[in-house]
Chain A
Amino acid sequence: MSLLGVGVRDRAANLLDGWVPFVPAPRRPAPAPGACDDVTPDELDLLRRRVINVVGHELRTPITTLRGLADLLAAEEDPEKAAVLREGIARTARRVEALLDDLLLAAGVSTALPVADPEPTEIAGVVVLARPGVVDKVLAELRENAERYAGHPPEVTARVEGDQAVVVVADRGPGVPPEELPLVCEPFFRGEAAVLTHHSLGLGLAVVKALVEQDGGSVAVRNREGGGFEVELRFPRAG
């Protein structure tokens, strides 16, 4: 794909001031196929710069909107128009709140979830052990990803393997370029196409990984035969 005479990678790399390309560090051992591995200490500086860039840019739009709507509200005398402005302010504030929740969840700070022990929760006919709210949040993130990138809701299936419950969330979208697969669970990673077309912190799969691992599970990602992308979640099985 080329646009304005510049390749996608070049455009993505240059869209944001100081944008840092997601190239695995040379010293980093190759991750297991499809595994979502952790960011190494060597990459902390890169990660810090990514955080500043992505958060700064993604917060600019809602904060600009909040300020503008608040200014208009202060001068508005018509009650009906004022109500529209208040609703816009409330929606935008909730959006900022959701961004911050995801930021904390991806960092392993679960202030967005109740502090509670895992309890039996049903997914697609299989009962897993997870803290209240985790399954709903994880499935919501994966559903949003599928609808955004594949254009349709994902299929969710589950099976039992020994003491684990294996949940697969799969779509029939374009999948992920193979070189991006080991990176998609990293906080703030955004695929090249997504940088151009979607506002996002790039935290969806990082949030999923953090939540599932906090409950003693694991996450793997892969492209599907015949096209599409799937996320495999392994939870401790209840009972």
Chain B
Amino acid sequence: MRIVVADDEPDVRLLLRLQLQLAGHEVVGEAADGAEAVRLCRETAADAVVLDLLMPGTTGFEAIPQLRALDKPPRIVAYSAVAGEFVRSEMARLDVPLVLKSGDVGPLLEALTGEHE
């Protein structure tokens, strides 16, 4: 799977890139905010995007409708340290799988491939 990772923390991007590569995926772009994520997904026609929600500039929330409007919309997985009631309900309403940041990459890989749906 060709994946764009979007997080404002460089070391989170490093971790995601290595974890996803180890799982056999290709990271085709790294974005520090939502606008860059949209641009990279458009340019690379990525299959999926791992999207942090709280980022400076264009947030992950704002990027979701823009990603959905692309000619080849990627599968979106929200990857967040914050998962309060608002975040959970919004992601459910938008039908975006939400994965809480944790040391275990398993749930993220399952969400990317659509397992357990």
Chain A: residues with CB nearer than 8 A to chain B?
3-4, 6, 10-11, 13-19, 57-58, 60-65, 67-69, 71-72, 84-85, 88, 91-92, 148, 195-199
Q: A3-B61, A61-B12, A84-B14 are in contact. List 11 more A-B contacts (CB 8 A).
A: A10-B86, A15-B87, A60-B101, A64-B81, A65-B11, A67-B103, A68-B105, A71-B103, A85-B18, A197-B57, A197-B59
Q: Are B55 and A197 in contact (CB under 8 A)?
A: yes
Q: Are B101 and A11 in contact (CB under 8 A)?
A: no
Q: Are A199 and B103 in contact (CB under 8 A)?
A: no
Verify if B110 is at the interface (C-beta below 8 Å from A).
Answer: no
Among B11, B54, B105, which residue has its beta carbon within 8 angstroms of that of A197?
B54
| Interface mask (B52-89 → A, CB under 8 Å = 1, otherwise 0) | 00111101011000000000000000000111111100
Q: Are A72 and B57 in contact (CB under 8 A)?
A: no
Per the bound structure, the CA–CA distance linking A6 and B89 in Å amounts to: 12
Give the most central of B8, B55, B81: most A CB within 10 Å.
Answer: B81
Chain B: residues with CB nearer than 8 A to chain A?
8-9, 11-12, 14-15, 18-19, 22, 54-57, 59, 61-62, 81-87, 90, 101-103, 105
Closest 6 A-B residue pairs measured CB to CB? A14-B86, A67-B103, A60-B81, A17-B84, A68-B15, A64-B101
Instruction: With CB as the reference atom, state the residue of chain B lying closest to A66.
Output: B103
Q: A61-B101, A65-B11 are in contact. Are A3 and B62 (CB under 8 A)?
A: yes
Per the bound structure, the CA–CA distance linking A226 and B68 in Å amounts to: 40
Hey, which chain A residues are within 8 Å of B8, CB to CB? 199
Instruction: With CB as the reference atom, state the residue of chain A lying closest to B52.
Output: A61
Q: Are A198 and B86 in contact (CB under 8 A)?
A: no
* Interchain nearest-CB distance for B72 vs A (Å): 23
Hey, which chain B residues are within 8 Å of A61, CB to CB? 9, 12, 81, 101
Instruction: With CB as the reference atom, state the residue of chain B lying closest to A90.
Output: B11
Q: Are B82 and A69 in contact (CB under 8 A)?
A: no
* Interchain nearest-CB distance for B65 vs A (Å): 9
Hey, which chain A residues are within 8 Å of B56, CB to CB? 148, 197-198
* Interchain nearest-CB distance for A45 vs B (Å): 20
Hey, which chain B residues are within 8 Å of A71, CB to CB? 103
Hey, which chain A residues are within 8 Å of B90, CB to CB? 4
Q: Are A72 and B19 in contact (CB under 8 A)?
A: yes
Q: Are B85 and A199 in contact (CB under 8 A)?
A: no
Q: Are B103 and A64 in contact (CB under 8 A)?
A: yes
Instruction: With CB as the reference atom, state the residue of chain B lying closest to A71.
Output: B103
Instruction: With CB as the reference atom, state the residue of chain A lying closest to B84.
Output: A17
Hey, which chain B residues are within 8 Å of A19, CB to CB? 84
Hey, which chain B residues are within 8 Å of A62, CB to CB? 11
Q: A61-B101, A71-B103, A198-B56 are in contact. Are A14 and B11 (CB under 8 A)?
A: no
Per the bound structure, the CA–CA distance linking A215 and B110 in Å amounts to: 54
